[in-house]
A and B are shown apart, each in its own frame.
Chain A
Amino acid sequence: MADPMKIRAQLKGDVAEIRVLMGHAMETGQRKDAAGKTIPPHFIQSMTVEVGGKKVVDGQVGTSVSRNPVFGFKVKGAKAGDKVVVSWVDNKGDKRTDEVAVA
């Protein structure tokens, strides 16, 4: 099971600033281990952000996103207490969903 994400959702005016840190190796499939064997690719492929039950961001991700990806988004019309739900799925089918409330 993947580590929990760190999600921060802060209201500035009527815009929620959302930052997410996902714990993931993001292996490209191009690196080799000490024995010279190629390390197979293992990376997040898709991610979504929902605010107040509505999908606001639908993202697709490739191998060139950094290890432990960080993404920032802004959502207009959010209110304090709205639930922010972030999910990701990787190329091996591992997945993770975490949530916070807009503060």
Chain B
Amino acid sequence: MLSALIAAGVLKPTAAYAAEWNKAAFEAHDTAGALKGIGAGAPADSKDLILKVPDIAENGAVVPVDVISNIPNTTSISILVEKNPSPLSASFDFANGALPEVSARLKMGQTSLVKAVAKADGKFYTAQKEVKVTVGGCGG
């Protein structure tokens, strides 16, 4: 039955163990498109979503970002860099005891707002901060 569905193209094999890469969201060229792609139309600002970024990044190729959600029942966190060619950087779903927090290192082409988006009880929340980039990380 399952193999029949895969053969028919209804189910893609990768969907069996992991969600398929969200091409629409990751390839969106503006923040609105990326937010739409992850299902978050207009997330509400939240003080319970903590975004830790440097004020100034000397090297845009490696910008450390920490996101911690204190919003109850947070199940996913996404990170966006508004002025990157594709704003959505990464998106994480948490389950089975994973705390809703993540640290990562991102590339930034230029000074930009960095945005965290958390999903909790089906609603979306956001927090944002500007990072000044002195040397961009997306050039050759």
**Chain A residues close to B by CB (< 8 Å):** 15, 26, 28, 30-33, 45-46, 48-49, 51, 54-67, 69-78, 89, 91
Contact = CB atoms under 8 A, between A and B. Distances in A.
A31 B66 CA distance: 27
B138 to A, nearest CB: 6
Nearest to A15: B99
Contact of B106 (A45, A64, A91): A64
Interface of B: 18-19, 21-22, 26, 61-63, 66, 81, 84-86, 88-99, 101-108, 137-140
Contacts of B137: 66
Given A32-B140, A64-B81, A56 B103 contact: no
Contacts of B90: 59-62, 65
A56 B96 contact: yes
Contacts of B140: 31-33
B2 to A, nearest CB: 19
Contacts of A46: 18-19, 21
A66 B139 CA distance: 13
B98 A57 contact: yes
B107 A58 contact: no
A57 B95 CA distance: 6
Given A64-B84, A77-B97, A59 B103 contact: no
17 contacts: A15-B99, A31-B140, A46-B18, A54-B97, A58-B95, A60-B90, A62-B26, A63-B26, A64-B84, A64-B86, A65-B89, A65-B106, A67-B61, A70-B105, A73-B102, A75-B98, A89-B18
Residue from A49, A54, A55 having most chain B Cβ neighbours under 10 A? A55
Contacts of B91: 59-60
Given A30-B85, A31-B139, A66 B94 contact: no
